[in-house]
Chains A and B, each alone.
Chain A
């Protein structure tokens, strides 16, 4: 596989250049009632105007609470769901407009690794078939005669025993199944891997193994990751830049250091401060911002700033004007009328 990186180098964007540019991406799901004549009574605004860029070789972390739209964003970028509106440029070309050969190439270039290693693998297929399946759809990548060798190589790359090529998913542990999923995602030599909670279902010791593997593969193959997770420590560990989502929108985006050491959006601050710290000697000394209540429904989000129903800093203007995601302080964008730096991570 290692030749792919050098193959690419001549024609492709250099490290640090944008490989994916997402602009005002929106995905709404209709809410329907009625059995026979279903009529639409509203829209779930799952992703509601998201913009960011992903650079070659970098990891963009995406954090946020359950239901904020992380997986929907992943599905749209994988072209598994059509966007409601907005664009995404893959190497400068609108990926939602791609057809035919160009679309096939896109489908090779962007791969996904999912959260649940138990349900995302077909239990009736052998590991060899699972990891090699992408070659059936894209035979140009590996001629039939070479496939088994390729699959063995992939298993080796992700730290699985190539001798286990004929085993079934249930014969592997959770962490090993996650490696199978990663091997499969690597098969077509992608440039971007979207990881949707790839380690959330794993125990700490196994989670560390898989995180290290993702890091190693990135440096070996020059991969770019969109790394979705709700565990803020995990995201910091792997990410170069981080986007914080709330109710379908990015509320703050910046480098790992800007977000964790210099957060300016009240939601980011609350989120970071709520993470329990694995040190009993600081118990009771940390300033924890306790949010009241629950996340509002994405069918009917609050006017103005979507965070205002839980924000301790909210003013009248917050209900009237949507705060733009622009840089006001601390050198990075934050969607808050009253953005100010506050250090919350001990």
Chain B
């Protein structure tokens, strides 16, 4: 595919702090707070995850669990203030984005990382044509001529299968359907040939048939380009279809981390188990759905001990006081539950 002609990927290594065998991206023990009128919201409370080239990590969790804030911290687009990064590391090929110089950070993020947002309409600028928005990056970042950038923009729209790309580049975002805008966003995010793509709920606003098209496209592009993909979603179906590994978030922590097959077959955390059980099914008409009692905690006052304890059907006394650490369950699986081993062993 024409994309190979682009530079970008190869030049990051030489003469820099890049560590050869390091994971493509590694988030370690990240703490982020928001200072709000009502108090300090502890939004991320030690998030760790990593993704390698060519791999899909799904970050799963209910709204407010901190999925997007983690992504924003990686991309360097957190609202600071009110956000404060308290501690932790975000290493891209071994270099900590929170420690390197501003120039180096911009360079790494500019060429290595890209993000696709949930709401393509508000992420695209309504007053410029779709083509212009793609071309601008190519001209500013890669110094392409106007003519080459236009040609490239058409190629990119074509790549994400927008029909009549040559005509469509001249149109404005509002002239695109929801599915086409999401494709245009993906085209734009691919313009600089990133090594890691973060897709934050890329299909949540779309219909199932369009969702299927977009997920196919993302998957295909990822495999072709050996990109790392972080897919943020709350949709357990989408995750099951594309994820290699899954990180489940609750109240700003990764409470379970597992390969996709193990997680669905034999969840290692009561929260994951409850989520799977509360899902209505397409293949049978159910009666009563299992529910998780209560509500996710306020991040202004996270419960002591295990943050899930007020809602957990397995909670015991120690859960109210002792914070569960990571329990290793083999195959790279971890679970932050005091009884993780028992839970997994039960099957």
A interface residues, Cβ below 8 angstroms from B: 65-66, 173, 175-176, 203-209, 211-212, 215, 230-234, 236-237, 256-257, 260, 270-272, 274-281, 283, 288, 290-291, 293-295, 345-346
Contacts and interface: CB of A to CB of B under 8 A. Distances in A.
Contacts of B208: 65, 230, 232, 271, 274-275
Interface string B152-186: 00000000000100000000000001111000000
Interface string B230-245: 0000111111110100
Given A270-B209, A293-B163, A205 B280 contact: no
Given A175-B295, A205-B275, A237 B285 contact: yes
What are the 7 closest A-B residue pairs judged by CB atoms, nearest first?
A276-B237, A205-B292, A237-B280, A208-B278, A65-B207, A208-B289, A203-B62
26 contacts: A65-B207, A203-B63, A203-B234, A204-B62, A204-B234, A204-B275, A205-B291, A208-B278, A208-B280, A209-B291, A233-B279, A234-B280, A236-B285, A237-B285, A260-B285, A276-B215, A276-B238, A277-B237, A277-B282, A278-B237, A278-B240, A279-B240, A280-B240, A290-B216, A291-B213, A293-B163
Contacts of B285: 236-237, 256-257, 260
Interface in B257-289: 260-261, 264-265, 274-276, 278-286, 288-289
Interface of B: 62-63, 163, 177-180, 207-213, 215-216, 234-241, 243, 260-261, 264-265, 274-276, 278-286, 288-292, 295-296
A278 B179 contact: no
Contact of B291 (A212, A274, A295): A212
B180 A294 contact: yes
A236 B286 CA distance: 8
A210 to B, nearest CB: 9
Contacts of A277: 237, 240-241, 282-283
Contacts of B210: 65, 294
A236 B276 CA distance: 17
A290 B179 CA distance: 14
Given A204-B234, A232-B282, A346-B283, A278 B276 contact: yes
A276 B241 contact: yes
B276 A208 contact: no
Contacts of B261: 280-281
Given A280-B240, A280-B264, A294 B179 contact: yes
Contact of A205 (B264, B265, B274, B281): B274
Contacts of B284: 236
Contacts of B260: 280
A231 B211 CA distance: 12
A274 B209 contact: yes
Nearest to A255: B285
Contacts of A206: 62, 295
A278 B282 CA distance: 10
Nearest to A288: B212
A346 B282 CA distance: 9
A65 B288 contact: no
Contacts of A231: 280
B344 to A, nearest CB: 17
Contacts of B281: 233, 236-237
Contacts of A290: 209, 212-213, 216
Contact of B288 (A215, A275, A345): A215
Nearest to A174: B63
B289 A274 contact: no
A233 B209 contact: no
